[in-house]
Each structure stands twice: as C-alpha cells, then as structure tokens.
C-alpha cells in the first residue's frame, strides 16, 4: 500500500511538472518569439499558450510593443564654432508586423538609434 502511494505521488509530481513546463503567459502589449530547437517557430501574442515541454519549444525573447523612450546626449557644433550639448529624447516602438525583423536583424536597436 505504501509503495503504491509513493508511486502515485511521484507520478503526480511528474505530471504537474510537465503541465507547468508546457504553459506560458505573454503579457499585454508584448509578444514572445518561440523557437523549436533553435529555429524560429512562431510569434505568440498576449494570452496563455501551450508549448512542447522539456526545452523543445523555447521562448527566445519577449519583445515590447509599447512606446519606449531613449535619452540621448548629443554634442554638436554651431555656426559660430561653439560646442553645445543637448539632451534628446527619442521615442520608438516595434510594429507588430515587424517583430521578427526587430529581433533577428537588429543586434542592439537602442544603440543603433543613438
């Protein structure tokens, strides 16, 4: 009887682990890029989703679709040879149609904007 109880407990723990590793949530105003064995599979929008367990399907990245702001300090020279330092606030966002390009083609988007 005790052996059956231990077996059932182990089976329950394994089942719960598999279920937890298959479910994932993507928050509002963001998307998740899913890769299968390192190859692009799909883009998951906000909500609860199911993936293959044990690292077969992996969340490669979560990309924000909100408006982001980058503060840049620019030093420029005026016509009368005076150097002026300006603080520039650049606002940018990723279009939902271009999420794949934004993740796979740009290494450091904020540094490229600067």
Domain ranges of the chain: 2-113
Global pTM reads 0.74
H or E element, residue 12: helix 2-22
Please give the average pLDDT of every successive group of 10 residues along the chain, which has 114 residues.
87 90 93 95 95 90 91 89 90 89 83 75
Mean pLDDT (the chain) is 90
Residue 49 pLDDT = 95
Residue 35 pLDDT = 96
DSSP 53-102: TTTTEEEEEEEE-S-EEEEEEEEEE-TTS-EEEEEEEEEE---GGGHHHH
CA–CA separation, 32 and 26 (whole Å): 7
């Amino acid at each position: 009887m005790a052996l059956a109880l231990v077996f059932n407990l182990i089976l329950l723990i394994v089942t719960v682990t598999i279920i937890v590793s298959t479910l994932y949530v993507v928050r509002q105003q963001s998307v998740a890029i899913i890769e299968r064995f390192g190859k692009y599979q799909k883009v998951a929008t906000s909500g609860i989703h199911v993936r293959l367990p044990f690292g077969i399907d992996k969340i490669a990245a979560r990309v924000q679709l909100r408006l982001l702001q980058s503060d840049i300090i620019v030093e420029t020279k005026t016509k009368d040879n005076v150097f002026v330092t300006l603080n520039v606030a650049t606002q940018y966002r990723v279009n939902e149609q271009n999420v794949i390009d934004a993740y796979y083609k740009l290494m450091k988007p904020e540094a490229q904007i600067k």
